[in-house]
Amino acid sequence: MTVDFNRSFKGVVWLLCLLFFCVTKGKSQCRHAHGVMSKIISIENSQNPLPEKFRKISELRDQFTDSLWCKDSAYARLLHRMATLQFQLNDSRATDESIEWMRESLAINTSGINGASARYALNSYYNLGVFYQSIGYYNKSLAYLDSVISIQRALEAPATLSGYSRILKADILFRNGDYQQCIEECIQGLAETNVSTDKSVIAQFFNRRAQSYYYLNDRANAVPDTDSAVYYTKKYPDDFERATAFMLKAMIASEQGFNDKAEQLFDNAIALRKKTGEYTQVADDYTDWGNFYFLKKRDYKKAQYCYEQTIVYAKKTDDAEKIAKGYINLAELAFRSSPGNAFAETKAYYQKGLSEFGLSGEDLLDYLPLSKYDAIGDIDLLLVILNNKTELLLNLYKLNGDGRYLDACLATARLTDTVIEQSRREQTGERSRLYWRGKTRMFFAHALEACYLANDMPGAFYFMEKSRAVLLSDKLKELGASSHLSQEDSDTEQNYKAAVVYEQQKLAKMGPLSAEYRHQQLKWVEAKELLRNYIKTLEQKYPLYYQYKYADDIPDLRKFELVLAKKKASFVHYFLQDSLGFALVSTAGGSRMVKLKTDKLKEDTLDDFLVWCTDKQRLNNHFGSFATASNELFENIFAPLQIAPGRVIVCTDNFLFPFEALTRDVKGKEYLLFDYTFSYVYSAGFLLKKMNNRRVGNDFLGFAPASFKQELNMPELTFSARSMQSVGRFYKRPELLTGARASRNNFLTKVPEYSVVNVFSHAYADRTNSEPVLYMQDSVIRLSELQLLNHPATQFIMLSACFTNVGRNAIGEGVYSLARGFSSAGIPAVSATLWRADESAVYTISNTFHSLISKGWNKDEALRKAKLDFIQQGEHENWLPYYWANMVLIGSPDPVEFLSSGNSYPMYIVAGIAIGFFILFAILWRRKREKIS
């Protein structure tokens, strides 16, 4: 894994120098300090070198102390100036003294005393943001920068300082890997920027937004932003930002396969950057150019030259972080290109990189706690260092068989996972977190291979769980944490979420080139910012909310095996990555790891099997070919696991197909459906998650629009209403909404109040970035809107519509489908469809399924029984998986607990006993009174 670029904070020191001329002169309220303000301004405006300015301003402060003058606005300005000068003299790095002076200056100007200046306090807020950024206290920096923005807005002051605050925030967010929020910060910054007065920041916003779009693989938006940056750097000459735009264009060109164009752009960008004298950034530019040669062109000689130039230019400014990047990338280059020397060159470069942070004495076999790496402020660099160390130790073990390397590898893997967890908490944007899920994918492959070689089943279980659906788990933990809020705060949080969804849906209806798009995009971003800020207040107000939300809840393997014993089920984790594939099988009797032949399990092989299942005509005409393909897949993905017939819970990895349609034989007569009961989950943690769904007396809610508004352009589902009525009769308290009553509003308001929900309708989803939708009679419900289902009582929802478990596949997270949307809303089990199937088959299977669910059957066993009945009772064509295999159960396979069923009888018994005791007491009391009389 190579280290990528990190843009420098150009313009910060320049702004610090000018702050003192951007405010009106404050009037000191202390007569003893008369004339001090003019002396301060004289020192500020002088042409003396910085050390001389600092000496004179320090002497003036001593006069304040010796003369016991009151500490008023003049003193506040003096402290502000001292702090800034010391910051500049210390190579733009804050000291404890400079921070203390600046905070004292801020305290005076926010104290409300006569002469205090709220506008001048803005400068101190901003400088504290800069100070804390310089020493790596990013959360504190962001807090002070947020204060600048909010106070400047309240004062209705010019947005210049606010613009610089947003630039610095964007840099910090980018550095933290929160690319989505960096984009949103730039959107707000561009909206607030006055082109005529703040022209210097416009190109900076476009560049920062473009590089964030680039990292999120959004080339469509990155390209026009780089074009805009080039335009503004020509209109308002700025070689530094223009070079940045060229670098971005070069990286985009390389992604598009235009390597010659990319090479020329890299060359032009670096030549332009060198003219600026910003050698720190030149070092980063050479890193990017080296990555291009290493990863795209496989030209190791030129890559090595570029990484060496990174070190040369970083040494010009004594930038330890950039020097380390050069050595770490040289280590990675040596690891990939010359492993024959037992990785000696790799180890040497790795040690040189660590020595820049005072870790030169570290032996590869030594375990260092995370605190030892505190000097490495760049999260991307730290992850690369630890990931590369994990991989190097793994390969050294495979080379020499020394178990110490394997132990060190596993310890380093745990440490790396801790860093991944911490960085994830710093990122609020979903797209940013998905990016990092993909970027850390190979790390989990290395960790799992090490567990396999060490026969470490608890470790394998841990890393399997950490490699999947973590963002879904975060969402569910957030829902659970909400139970610690007051009703008022919970309602307010929900209102903020609803506002975000509302603005997002309005934006989705607009074309990105329309005049209204930018305005609506800003409203959406502002709604998200309000929600983020409110959640921060909740985390401070409710400690339990914070603890629950960020708890690490990976299950214990032994306890999980005991759960499987009670369920009489086996559990399978899959992990498939290029040439490496594993399955972890857990049962009541223990767990074991199986290495899979990934050359037989390529993505197109899995996709081909799913395509077979979806094509009725092809199955009819070429069933023998299907049976052969199905059996071959069975032999490679399931047979090696040697799982006994019975209940099997499958946790897939970036794929999902109906395992029950695999065949033991090449003739297609022995479907796994006949011997196994399959269900699917996002993770073992999801299976064990206590959703705490409310218990309600409303058993069943059915939606069957049957026909749709003309503008939706959806065909009628003629028999859906009749089928829904048939299904509803199995439940004691059903409510059936058909026709116009099957509306969008009714769905969002009524679904959370029922134990079981079934939807007979249309849905649409594909594997692109388009958002899945579910059709109601009058409108659609989008995936993002499902989060509005607040604290549902729903234990199970059946989506009898096509493509309800289809969507964009996110590495490490799974398919972003309607089924996942309902799961993230807190519904523990969903039955969803994988393709467009026969309407009559769906209704028949659903009818049998509900008849069994209402009687307390396990959901997985009820679905299997319904499918078997369909096959056995129908025509020979019913044998085809096209008809029955598209419906899968995702989530808890346990029975639905109905309040109106047998579970409520004990309550009646208790109530009867209570009434009996009351009557007996009344009789005895009356007899006692009569006796007394």
| 3 state SS for 639-683 | HHHCCCCEEEEEECCCCCCCHHHCECCCCCCCEHHHCEEEEECCC
Radius of gyration, CA atoms only, the chain = 32
Say if residue 295's pLDDT is above 80: yes
308-317, 592-601, 749-758, 863-872: segment of lowest average pLDDT? 592-601
Instruction: Report the C-alpha gap between 456 and 558 in whole angstroms.
Output: 13
Indicate whether 633 pLDDT > 70.
yes
Tokens of 929: 């009174």
Question: Is the confidence at residue 749, as pLDDT, over 50?
Answer: yes
Among 682, 181, 680, residue whose Cα is nearest residue 475 = 682
Residue with tokens 């579970």: 903
Domain assignment present for 656? yes
Q: Is residue 36 assigned to a domain? A: no
Contact 409, 545 (CB under 8 A): no
Using the predicted structure, report yes or no on whether residue 1 has a pLDDT greater than 70. Answer: no
Residue that terminates a domain, selected from 661, 680, 699: 680
Residue 729 lies in domain: 687-896
pLDDT of residue 649: 97
Same domain? For 324 and 272 the reply is yes
Write down the H helix ranges in 158-299: 160-175, 179-192, 199-215, 219-235, 239-255, 259-276, 279-291
Q: Which residue has the tokens 């390529």?
A: 602
Whether residue 220 lies inside any domain: the answer is no
Helix ranges, 338-467 (H):
344-355, 379-400, 403-426, 430-439, 441-454, 457-466
Assigned domain for 26 exists: no
Give, in degrees to the nearest 5, the angle at Cα 131 between 129 and 137: 75
Question: Is the pLDDT reported for residue 412 higher than 90?
Answer: yes
Q: Within this chain, do residues 857 and 723 fall inside the same structural domain, yes or no?
A: yes
Residue with tokens 């209403």: 721
The pLDDT score that the predictor gives to residue 886 is: 92
Please indicate, yes or no, if residue 926 is contained in any of the structural domains.
yes
Tokens 């905070």 found at? 103
Determine, yes or no, domain membership for 351: yes
CA distance 188 to 529: 10
631 and 736 together in one domain:
no
Domain count, the chain: 6
Tell how strand 756-760 and strand 796-800 pair up: parallel
Q: How confident is the model at residue 130 (pLDDT cuts 50, 70, 90)?
A: very high
Residue pLDDT, tens place only, 525-551: 888 888 888 888 887 877 766 666 666
Mean pLDDT of 894-910: 61
What is the residue type of 353?
A: G
Roughly what angle, to the nearest 10 degrees, separates helices 219-235 and 199-215? Answer: 160
Q: Does residue 839 have a pLDDT over 90?
A: no
Both tokens of 693, joined, read: 């769904």
Residues 586 and 459 in one domain: no
What integer best gives the mean pLDDT of the chain?
85
Predicted pLDDT at 903: 40
CATH number of the CATH domain containing 731: 3.40.50.1460
SS3 855: coil
Report the DSSP pairing between strands 569-577 and 646-651: parallel
pLDDT surpassing 80 at residue 12: no
Q: Give the model's confidence band at 11: pLDDT under 50 very low, under 70 low, under 90 confident, else very high.
A: very low
Q: 193 or 868: whose pLDDT is higher?
A: 868
Predicted local distance difference test score (pLDDT) of residue 554: 84
Average pLDDT for 372-381: 80
Contacts of 725 (CB under 8 A, 6+ apart): 736
% of the chain exceeding 70 in pLDDT = 85
Judge whether 259 and 296 are in contact, CB under 8 Å: yes
Q: What's the average model confidence in pLDDT over 376-394?
A: 87
The yes-or-no verdict on residue 441 having pLDDT over 90 is no
Q: Does the structure show a pLDDT above 90 at 397?
A: yes
pTM here is 0.81
Distance (Å) of CA 308 to CA 303, 344, 355, 573, 594: 9, 18, 16, 43, 43
Range of lowest pLDDT (357-366, 507-516, 803-812, 824-833): 803-812
| 744: its two tokens | 């969008």
Q: Is residue 182 part of a domain?
A: no
pLDDT value at residue 902:
44
CA distances to 1, 2, 180, 208 from 175, rounded to whole Å, are 17, 16, 12, 11
| Average pLDDT of span 495-499 | 86
Residue 38 lies in a domain: no
Q: What is the rounded CA–CA span in Å between residue 618 and residue 624?
A: 10
Q: Do 523 and 588 sit in the same domain of this protein?
A: no
pLDDT-based confidence at residue 69 (cuts at 50, 70, 90) = low
pLDDT of residue 455: 97
Tell me: do 749 and 846 sit in the same domain.
yes
Kindly state the helix (H) or strand (E) to which residue 891 belongs, with its residue range: strand 887-891
Backbone angles phi, psi at 30, to 5 degrees: -110, 115
pLDDT of residue 28: 45
Select from 361, 393, 425 the last residue of a domain.
361
d(CA 572, CA 820): 19
Same domain, 771 and 876: yes
Q: Note the pLDDT of residue 750.
A: 94
Burial class of residue 457 in the structure, from the number of CB atoms within 10 Å of its CB (0-12 exposed, 13-18 middle, 19+ buried): buried
3-state secondary structure string, 436-478?
Answer: HHHHCHHHHHHHHHHHHHHCCHHHHHHHHHHCCCHHHHHHHHH
526 close to 516: Cβ distance less than 8 angstroms: no
Q: Which amino acid is at 454?
A: A
The least confident of 592-601, 684-693, 859-868, 876-885 is: 684-693
pLDDT tens digits, one per residue of 139-191: 899 999 999 998 888 887 777 888 999 999 999 999 888 889 999 999 999 99
Residue 20: pLDDT band (50, 70, 90) is very low
| Most confident region among 3-12, 40-49, 122-131, 187-196 by mean pLDDT | 122-131
Q: Which of 198-207, 454-463, 563-572, 877-886 has the lowest mean pLDDT?
A: 198-207
Examine the domain organization and report whether 498 and 448 are in the same domain: no
- Sheet order of strands, 780-782 included: 763-764, 773-775, 780-782
Banded pLDDT at 25 (limits 50, 70, 90): very low
Among 59-68, 114-123, 651-660, 924-933, which is the least confidently predicted range? 924-933
Look at residue 38 and tell me whether its pLDDT is greater than 70. yes
532 and 403 within one domain: no
Predicted local distance difference test score (pLDDT) of residue 623: 95
Distance CA 748, CA 790 (A): 9
Mean pLDDT of 120-135: 92
HSE-CB for 346 with a 13 A CA cutoff: 23
Handedness of CA 200, 135, 382, 546 (dihedral sign): negative
**Which pLDDT score, from 0 to 100, does residue 779 have?**
92
Question: Which residue has better confidence, 427 or 93?
Answer: 93
Q: How many CA atoms lie within 13 A of 59 on its CB side?
A: 7
Each residue's pLDDT tens digit, 787-824: 888 889 999 999 987 655 555 555 555 555 788 888 88
Q: Identify the pLDDT of residue 404.
A: 94
* One domain, residues 693 and 786: yes
Would you say residue 31 has pLDDT above 90?
no
397 and 534 in a common domain: no
Closest alpha carbon to 377 in 138, 129, 127, 143: 138
Give the model's pLDDT for residue 534.
85
Secondary structure letter of residue 341 according to DSSP: G
18 has a pLDDT exceeding 50: no
Looking at the fold, whether 244 and 347 belong to one and the same domain comes out as yes
pLDDT at 27: 45
